[in-house]
Amino acid sequence: MRKYFITRVLRILELRIFLSSSFFVFLLASNLFAQPQTSAISSAPGAFSRVGFAARGIGMGNAMTSVTEGQLISYYNPALVVFQEKNNANLGYTFLSLDRKLNFLSVGRSFEFYKIDEEGNSTDEVHSTAGVSIGVINSGVGNIDGRDGSGLKTETYSTSENQFFLSFGIKPSERVAIGLTAKMYYYSLFEKMSSTSLGFDFGAIVKIMDELYVGAVIADLNSKYQWDSTPIYNEKGKSNTIDKFPLLKRIGVSYFLPNELGIVAVDFESSNFGTNILKFGGEFNLMNYLKLRAGLDRLNLSNSDMIPKTSFGFQLSQSLWNLNFELNYAFVMEAYSPFDEHVISMGIIF
């Protein structure tokens, strides 16, 4: 009888140990393999317009809000147009997986206005500086299989999402520059289903000292897609579905390193979609014709599960026929893709 009782107690203890161990393993597995917390901004409209612009900016982690030297794109801050060098153009192409495409084009120019003396003659002293820039970002997905109700292939579809922008800026004083960008979005999603909208960016840059600049931007005011699906679904469709873009507020600081070694920059960006993102970037001058870059983008302080994007790049420069050519490349680690991003762009100053 005593032997039977001891055996029963041992079996109960073994069962409790087994259940406790199983529960511990379950908790551990839940923590290790739990669904990562997603950010609402990941599925927000206009994602292509938040990737960055061309190889220089993307290679520096998109921390470009206050960078005032080199190839400058008003995409990052409308006030940057006043810091452009002469006339400039920038053309970029991105190698992406999953049949995606992302292309860039911008052209800009700055203007100097000189003071007038008492006799009405123009002097050599600059009164103010202005700048203008136009550009386009083109993206989309191709080779999308169309299938019927039986699963048989019908045809191949593609999408096209575009941003056309016009920027204007002015530098009323030596230390302050302000700018405005008007952006038109056009999205062709499907047959008889597209959307067009107009949004705005406002930006400013303040020169604290010769080596230190601070910039601020409010981006995508009024940007949205408005859809009408009644041409496809008739009375079952919806005629006024509105998808608003995230409203972005960004502040950045850039510092020119001593002895013309390069630039380091940091941006902080918040949105009404609950993100608080840090961006870091650096550009280092190795030779007159060679620059190296590194950056970190999308370090979300509000969601540690959002994987940051690390980037590296370089620039090769060459002057020819009174033109300055700049070949830029950026490599970007993309977490949820079969292979990483490669961005190539060509800048011309003339």
CATH number of the domain within which 131 lies: 2.40.160.60
Quote the number of domains for the chain.
1
The C-alpha atoms of residue 311 and residue 341 are separated, in whole angstroms, by: 9
Residue 164 lies in a domain: yes
Residue 242 lies in a domain: yes
Reported as half-sphere exposure (CB side, CA atoms, 13 A), residue 69 has a value of 18
295-309 tens-digit pLDDT: 999 999 998 888 999
Residue 6 lies in a domain: no
Distance of CA 114 to the CA centre of its chain: 36
Contact between 182 and 160 (Cβ < 8 Å): no
Q: What is the pTM of this model?
A: 0.85
Give the pLDDT score at 190: 87
Contact between 282 and 296 (Cβ < 8 Å): no
Residue 197 lies in a domain: yes
Backbone angles phi, psi at 238, to 5 degrees: -115, 135
CA dist 316 → 56, 198, 283, 335 (Å): 11, 36, 13, 28
CA dist 111 → 70, 108, 115, 132, 322 (Å): 17, 10, 13, 9, 19
Residue 278 lies in a domain: yes
Range of the domain at 136: 45-349
The C-alpha atoms of residue 50 and residue 43 are separated, in whole angstroms, by: 12
Sorted by sequence, the CB contacts under 8 Å of residue 198 that are 6+ apart come out as 182, 183, 184, 185, 222, 223
The C-alpha atoms of residue 139 and residue 31 are separated, in whole angstroms, by: 37
The C-alpha atoms of residue 57 and residue 50 are separated, in whole angstroms, by: 12
Residue 251 lies in a domain: yes
The C-alpha atoms of residue 14 and residue 4 are separated, in whole angstroms, by: 15
127-174 tens-digit pLDDT: 678 999 999 999 999 999 888 888 888 889 899 999 999 999 999 888
Sorted by sequence, the CB contacts under 8 Å of residue 327 that are 6+ apart come out as 315, 316, 317, 318, 344, 345, 346
Give the pLDDT score at 76: 98
Give the pLDDT score at 5: 45
Please give the average pLDDT of every successive group of 10 residues along the chain, which has 350 residues.
47 47 41 56 92 96 96 96 91 94 95 72 74 97 88 90 97 94 96 92 97 98 92 79 95 96 97 95 94 96 90 95 94 90 94
CA dist 220 → 104, 267, 271, 334 (Å): 18, 17, 10, 25
Scored b (16 or more CB within 10 A) or e, 329-340 reads: bbbbeeeeeeeb
